Amino acid sequence: MGTLTILTILTTLRFLVPMLISCVNSSSTPRRPARLGTAACAQFREHHVFSYDLRSRLAPGQWSRCYKECNGPHQSPIDIRLNSVQCMESGEEESPIYVWYRRHHGYARGSFLNNGHSCAFSTHNGDVRTYGKVLRNVPGQEGADYVFSELHFHIGANGSRSGSEHRINGKGFRGEIHMVHWKKTEELRTYEKGSEATDGLVAIGIFFNVVRRCHTEADRLILKYVYHARRYEAVKDPAFANPSLLLPADGMFYTYKGSKTTPPCNTNIIWIVYNTPTTICHRSYRILMALQSAEIGHPFLRTFGNDRPIQSKGTNNVQANFLRCD
Ligand SMILES: [Zn+2]
């Protein structure tokens, strides 16, 4: 992401601040959300406005008022029910399918930006050849290159014990890290083009628990970068992230075709959700909870969280790479 792109984002964010505040502060007591007109929706869509405040006109259950796909089938996140998880064909080698990054030790260069919903790392697309991390061996997409593009964190409101978006047999974790990748082919050479294609995006979900010791790559990213971008619109640039170091060592994951968990809820995403959680330390968790929104000093993650509720509409065929078909 270049300086120009960052400036464009900042300008856009500045414009949507008043809308977001009116959205978040739409009432002081719970009530039925007011109707949203076509013009208001068009503006919300243009500036990608949505909320996790349950009293807001654009609370998660209301997103589909402006973003139709959010009410469609194959939405994410889901509760992975183990008794319905299917086996995976393992290919010629008859070994489980593992995903891996080319240049394991290389770091992606990018920026952290507090966008009012999370503090997200985005890569500088122009630097793919020099710093980019490319994900390989995605189930059903063997041979395809998926370029690492974004990383962000999800937690629940008020320090919730189940702030992860996905669940396993109803069990949530303290939070979840998401890493987004776009498909790169001869024709698809940018994030925008790659993300429009069928199977154009791969999202990796990694659960985390909270422990005393700060020692993971997630801790390093939060303590080194997120801490300095805790105020709304703040950017930490440059930043360097290595998604290889975040993947749980046992490589066990579930995979299914789902959607973005934020509007516009596009359904061209291959999800890879790891079974084994990683950890972040209490200090890191407190930094996530203290992230501030457009309202001065308002800790939006502590108050509202940023975990979309479980979606159950439509079927999602979940497979596990550690369950081999005989
Ligand atoms: Zn996410």
The CATH number that applies at residue 224 is 3.10.200.10
Which amino acid belongs to residue 298? H
The string over 26-54, giving b where at least 16 C-beta atoms fall within 10 Å of a residue's C-beta and e elsewhere, is beeeeeebeeeeeebbeebeeebbbbbbe
**Tokens linked to 133:** 């991390």
27 falls within a domain: no
* Gap from CA of 219 to ligand 1 centroid (Å): 18
* Gap from CA of 151 to ligand 1 centroid (Å): 8
Output the pLDDT for position 39.
85
* Gap from CA of 29 to ligand 1 centroid (Å): 28
13 falls within a domain: no
| Nearest CA-CA partner of 171 in 180, 181, 161 | 161
120 falls within a domain: yes
57 falls within a domain: no
Print the domain residue range for 143: 76-320
Q: Please report where in the chains the tokens 């010629």 appear, as a residue.
A: 92
Output the pLDDT for position 35.
67
Output the pLDDT for position 33.
55
69 falls within a domain: no
Number of domains in the chain: 1
203 falls within a domain: yes
Rg of the chain's alpha carbons, rounded to an integer? 19
Consecutive 10-residue averages of pLDDT for the chain (326 residues)? 47 45 40 70 88 92 94 95 90 75 85 94 69 86 90 97 96 97 79 80 98 98 97 93 95 96 94 98 97 85 95 86 86
* Gap from CA of 290 to ligand 1 centroid (Å): 18
pTM given for the model: 0.88
Which amino acid belongs to residue 61? G
Q: Please report where in the chains the tokens 């080698």 appear, as a residue.
A: 93
Output the pLDDT for position 11.
47
* Gap from CA of 326 to ligand 1 centroid (Å): 34
* Gap from CA of 152 to ligand 1 centroid (Å): 6
Output the pLDDT for position 24.
40
4 falls within a domain: no
Output the pLDDT for position 44.
87
Output the pLDDT for position 129.
55
* Gap from CA of 42 to ligand 1 centroid (Å): 23
* Gap from CA of 177 to ligand 1 centroid (Å): 7
84 falls within a domain: yes
Output the pLDDT for position 268.
87
E-strand spans in the chain?
79-80, 86-88, 100-102, 108-114, 119-123, 134-136, 145-155, 167-168, 175-184, 201-211, 235-241, 253-258, 269-274, 278-281, 319-324
